[in-house]
């Protein structure tokens, strides 16, 4: 049975679309929480516009965190993960395929939904393009970093809290620069610097995360 990069990618995408409810959970969480913000704080457009960049980014982060725990869980339960580890093919490539699937079914839908929710929060027009660009890169960083925590806690029965404690500090740079990108655009400042930092975070995560995740999986399975 072929378990290379494209085989894992195809298999996990097929499984994800067979379990569409699990895909929808982070998106529904994102939608519901952002929708409740005007009801819980204030419906005043000017006030909502001030907090919109931070709210959208924090909720996107939490929605991504909600789904990252299951990245390796099903493969661990049915024994596929152990087979992946002992195969002669590079584990980091198979891990990268699983991370890519997580981003495609979680990060990308959140990014596409964000402008609609930005309208609900009265986000100024200048913030929409930076919001999309920052979330495209930022949610990919969240998936890459979250995979490390998911791998470290995959063998634990209730590892959700520990996973949050592990990855939340590592999520902070993406959150800070992602939200500041949108805020700077709204305030009329250039966003090139913030986007460049997000791009650097993405490049570094892409370089390090698959190898770190593969090592964490080996430790969790055989440690």
pLDDT (tens digit, 9 = 90+) per residue, 11-34? Answer: 888 988 887 777 788 888 888 888
Concatenated DSSP letters of 19-78 = THHHHHHHHHHHHHHHHHHHHHS---HHHHHHHHHHHHHHHHHHHHHHHHGGGTHHHHHH
Query: According to the model, what pLDDT value does residue 223 have?
Result: 55
Reported confidence tier of residue 148, pLDDT bands at 50, 70, 90:
very high
**pLDDT over threshold 90, residue 40:** no
The pTM (predicted TM-score) of the whole model is 0.91
**pLDDT over threshold 90, residue 142:** yes
Kindly report the average pLDDT of the chain as a whole number: 88
User: Do residues 195 and 137 make contact, with C-beta atoms less than 8 angstroms apart?
Assistant: yes
**pLDDT over threshold 90, residue 185:** yes
């Amino acid at each position: 049975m072929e378990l290379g990069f494209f085989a894992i990618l195809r298999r996990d995408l097929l499984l994800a679309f067979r379990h569409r409810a699990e895909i929808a959970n982070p998106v529904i969480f994102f939608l519901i929480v952002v929708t409740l913000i005007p009801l819980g704080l204030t419906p005043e457009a000017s006030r909502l516009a001030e907090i919109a960049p931070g709210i959208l980014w924090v909720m996107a982060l939490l929605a991504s965190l909600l789904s990252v725990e299951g990245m390796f869980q099903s493969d661990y339960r049915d024994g596929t993960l152990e087979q992946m580890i002992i195969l002669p093919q590079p584990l980091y490539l198979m891990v990268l395929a699983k991370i890519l699937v997580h981003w495609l079914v979680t990060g990308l839908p959140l990014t596409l939904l964000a402008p609609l929710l930005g309208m609900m929060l009265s986000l100024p027009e200048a913030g929409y393009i930076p919001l999309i660009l920052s979330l495209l890169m930022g949610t990919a960083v969240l998936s890459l970093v979250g995979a490390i925590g998911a791998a470290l806690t995959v063998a634990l029965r209730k590892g959700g809290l520990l996973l949050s404690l592990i990855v939340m500090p590592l999520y902070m740079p993406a959150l800070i620069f992602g939200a500041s990108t949108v805020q700077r655009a709204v305030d009329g400042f250039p966003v090139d610097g913030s986007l460049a930092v997000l791009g650097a975070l993405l490049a570094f995560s892409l370089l390090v995360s698959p190898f770190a995740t593969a090592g964490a999986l080996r430790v969790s399975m055989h440690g």
